[in-house]
Amino acid sequence: MTFQWHWIAYALALIAPFLMQVIRCMLYASKHGQDPVAVWNFIHGNVLLRVVPSLPARIFNSLLGQVNPFSRSISMRITSISRQESNAVGRQGVCRATMWDRPSSRNPFRSIHAAALILFGETVCGVAVLSSLKRGERAIVKRLSGQYHKKSRGTLTAECTFTRPTTSGEIESIAILRDSSMDVVAEVTAVWAIDVEKE
């Protein structure tokens, strides 16, 4: 029985277009990494990648893991990012995410560890804050804190809506973490220093 080389050729012909689009996304992210909304929209605007519905989000979260490797220590995924601007509210960044309950994230009491919840909330806050910034601005975490309302078990969701202040300085962002019953299990507060990045 001879080896069917043409099957490999067919497989490569099918995979190659997807790989090219992934490379395009990586190159775009390397130039626009400070604007997660732009990267998110670029990836989700790719018609070929949307053939597999979950692929755009997977690519974005893989890129996020490259930028923020520590976030890969928990099983989480960004599910939506948006930016809104209005005269009444100002410039807002909104981020939503999901975190799965894994044995590696648990404490001795069979619930998700407090440090894992902090990391989850801080990551969601960070993406929301970065989504609200203007070109040339940067944000650095100054303080982190968490309030724990009940034991966290099962799949969690988190949401942060961050309104960009009109002036530079320290500002607070809050991520609300909920369980599958939509009960608030924790609130993570991150205080950021926002200033203009020096050339």
The H or E element spanning position 113 is none
Distance CA 37, CA 133 (A): 10
- Give me the pLDDT at residue 1, please: 47
Rounded to the nearest 10 degrees, what angle do helices 55-67 and 5-32 cross at?
Answer: 50
Contacts of 22 (CB under 8 A, 6+ apart): 49, 59
Would you place residue 123 in the very low, low, confident or very high pLDDT band (cuts 50, 70, 90)? very high
At a CB cut-off of 8 Å and minimum separation 6, what does 99 contact?
74, 75, 76, 77, 105, 112, 116, 120, 155, 156, 157, 158, 177
Distance of alpha carbon 28 from alpha carbon 49, whole angstroms:
15
Q: Is the pLDDT of residue 113 over 80?
A: yes
Strand partners, 108: none
Q: Residues of CATH 3.10.129.10 domain(s) within the chain?
A: 74-199
Rounded-to-integer distance, Cα 28 and Cα 61, Å: 14
Residue 3: pLDDT band by 50, 70, 90 thresholds? low
Q: Indicate the burial class of 38 (C-beta count within 10 angstroms; 0-12, 13-18, 19 or more).
A: middle
Of 106 and 89, more confident: 106
d(CA 184, CA 148): 9
Q: pLDDT over 70 for what percent of the chain?
A: 84
Count Cβ atoms within 10 A of the Cβ of residue 139 and give its class: 0-12 exposed, 13-18 middle, 19 or more buried.
buried
For 74-199, which CATH class?
A: alpha beta
Instruction: List CB contacts of 59: < 8 A, sequence separation 6 or more.
Output: 22, 25, 43, 49
What letter does residue 135 receive in the DSSP assignment? T
Which residues make Cβ contacts (< 8 Å) with residue 60, sequence separation at least 6? 39, 40, 43, 44, 78
Per-residue model confidence as pLDDT tens digits over 31-59: 777 888 888 888 888 776 777 788 888 88
Half-sphere exposure of 32 (CA within 13 A, CB side): 18
Q: What is the pLDDT of residue 169?
A: 72
Q: What is the pLDDT of residues 97-106, one digit of tens each?
A: 999 999 999 9
For the chain, percent of residues with pLDDT exceeding 90? 46
